[in-house]
Amino acid sequence: MVTNYDLDNFADTNKKADAKGEKKPLMSVPLSRKNRTKKQFRFWSIGEGLDFVFLLAIAGILIIGLIMMFSASYPYAYHRYGNSYYFITRQILFAGIGLAAMFGVSYFDYHHLHFWAPIALGTAWLLMLIVLFLPQGGDPDAPKRWLKIGGFGIQASEVCKFALILFFANWGSIYYKKMHTIKYGVMPALGVLLVTGILLYAEPHYSGIVICLLIVAVMLFLSGLPIKYFIAAGVLVSVIVSLMAVTGKLTYAMSRLDGWGQALEYTTNEMWQTTWQTRNSLYAIGSGGLWGLGFGQSRQKYLYLPEPQNDFVFAIVCEELGLIGALIILALFAFLVYRGIHICKGAKDMFGRLLGVGLMAQIGLQVVLNILVITDWLPNTGISLPFFSYGGSSLIMLLAQMGIVLNISRTANIQKE
């Protein structure tokens, strides 16, 4: 699909080239098979055009994540399943599927995603609607977030995060000149957020609501939505949350707020139980000190910190590798996000820039939010750490999204040639 932005930008570039007597550039849209040159056919060569620095950053984080997830998970895996390798073998399988998806997607011209943007969002909404009617492990009160297929589960909200980025990248690239208006900038965002928020609230999945809200805010900001609308949206969200809290519509969320910021305060037995996970996370972080206890030497993972392979895996990282090791890993995450944004800034169309930067922003947001949760700066709301926390749908989706960024780098390099 060719957007109005692409046509306008292409026409302007050609006019400038004619005025200077320069060669006219090729337009960055999918080429038909008849119009591809032999040089452009090399697009399908293994590794050609990939940003290997970005690829190495992904590989480094993925390998470290697998190693640390195994170190954090094997006591709990043995206690629950009688197999210390239960989580790591499955996570390696997920990583293999994700890597295959990443390299496959890196060959798929991202411009075709214009067509799939509304379909992806509709599919995500459908999945979130379906899970509301499915049993979740036999517990009628359990959050309804998983679509079980065989022995594996798909978390619908993971698909929704990507779908939101894709939808607003497509929308922003088409209507970028009209994003300052209520009709094209505000109303579509409110409509999409309303449907998404209702479905996530019904699960309930409040951390998903927060992440999706922040993702949409980033995409709208990148698309040129004026700041005044963000201020108005902040006031509106505050009013809605306050009304829901007063009327008792946020019971599940309020239970998560109990004990927030009080993990180390010994008050009542009820508070002691409520803050158990966060308190042991702080114990793990504090006992790691500057250099850590050593790889595999964590004490909190021995059934003190519940399910340490999930959202609190970085607490075990801090305990075993210390502050120095934790900072190195965070620096690697920062470099990954920086490199990804740098790549996407080189895309020749707004759709590529919005899509790539949005995907990297999701990783950055989740890393920051996860660190704030395990250090008790935010309530314990279940935000996973990308590439580290156990979970198939999250890891596969993240690696596939990195394939899109690699595709942007591949396409940009070919255009330069």
Q: What is the DSSP string of 103-144?
A: HHHTTS-GGGHHHHHHHHHHHHHHHHHHGGGS-STT-TTS--
15 confidence band (pLDDT: 50, 70, 90):
low
H helix or E strand, kind and range, residue 405: helix 392-416
Summarize pLDDT for 169-189 with one digit per residue, the tens. 999 999 988 988 889 989 999
Give me the pLDDT at residue 411, please. Answer: 76
Residue 92 phi/psi, 5° resolution? -65, -40
Query: What percentage of the chain exceeds 90 in pLDDT?
Result: 55
Question: Is 177 within the bounds of a domain?
Answer: yes
Question: Is 10 within the bounds of a domain?
Answer: no
Summarize pLDDT for 66-116 with one digit per residue, the tens. 999 999 999 999 999 999 999 999 999 999 999 999 999 998 889 999 999
CB under 8 Å to 241, separation ≥6 — which residues? 250
Give me the pLDDT at residue 32, please. Answer: 38
The tokens 């314990």 sit on which residue? 380
144 φψ region: left (φ > 0), alpha (ψ -120 to 50), beta (else):
beta
Question: Is 21 within the bounds of a domain?
Answer: no
**Domain assignment of residue 111, given as a range:** 50-416
The tokens 């519509």 sit on which residue? 249
User: CA 252 from chain center: how many Å?
Assistant: 24
Query: How many domains are there within the chain?
Result: 1
Question: Is 38 within the bounds of a domain?
Answer: no
Summarize pLDDT for 27-58 with one digit per residue, the tens. 444 433 344 334 443 434 445 678 899 999 99
Give me the pLDDT at residue 30, please. Answer: 42
Residue 388 phi/psi, 5° resolution? -110, -45
Predicted confidence (pLDDT) at residue 258 exceeds the cutoff of 70: no
Question: Is 1 within the bounds of a domain?
Answer: no
Q: What integer best gives the mean pLDDT of the chain?
A: 83
Q: How many whole angstroms separate alpha carbon 169 and alpha carbon 337?
A: 18
* Higher-pLDDT residue of 246, 191: 191
- Omega into 204 within 30° of 0, i.e. cis? yes
Residue 415 contacts residue 28 (beta carbons within 8 Å) = yes
Q: How many whole angstroms separate alpha carbon 375 and alpha carbon 176?
A: 39
Amino acid symbol at 279: R
Question: Is 40 within the bounds of a domain?
Answer: no
Give me the pLDDT at residue 141, please. Answer: 60
Over residues 3-29, the mean pLDDT reads 48
Question: Is 345 within the bounds of a domain?
Answer: yes
Across 245-359, where does the E strand assignment appear? Answer: none
Q: Tokens in use for 292?
A: 């850590």
Residue 298 phi/psi, 5° resolution? -60, 140
Residue 141 phi/psi, 5° resolution? -95, 0
| DSSP of 152-220 | EEEEHHHHHHHHHHHHHHHHHHHSGGGTTSIIIIIHHHHHHHHHHHHHHHHTT-HHHHHHHHHHHHHHH
User: Among 416, 415, 414, which Cα is nearest to 48's?
Assistant: 414
DSSP code of 35?
G
Q: How many whole angstroms separate alpha carbon 302 and alpha carbon 274?
A: 19
Query: What percentage of the chain exceeds 70 in pLDDT?
Result: 79
Q: Tokens in use for 351?
A: 């759709």
Residue 171 contacts residue 223 (beta carbons within 8 Å) = yes
Question: Is 367 within the bounds of a domain?
Answer: yes
Q: Tokens in use for 90?
A: 């499955």
Q: How many whole angstroms separate alpha carbon 393 and alpha carbon 93?
A: 12
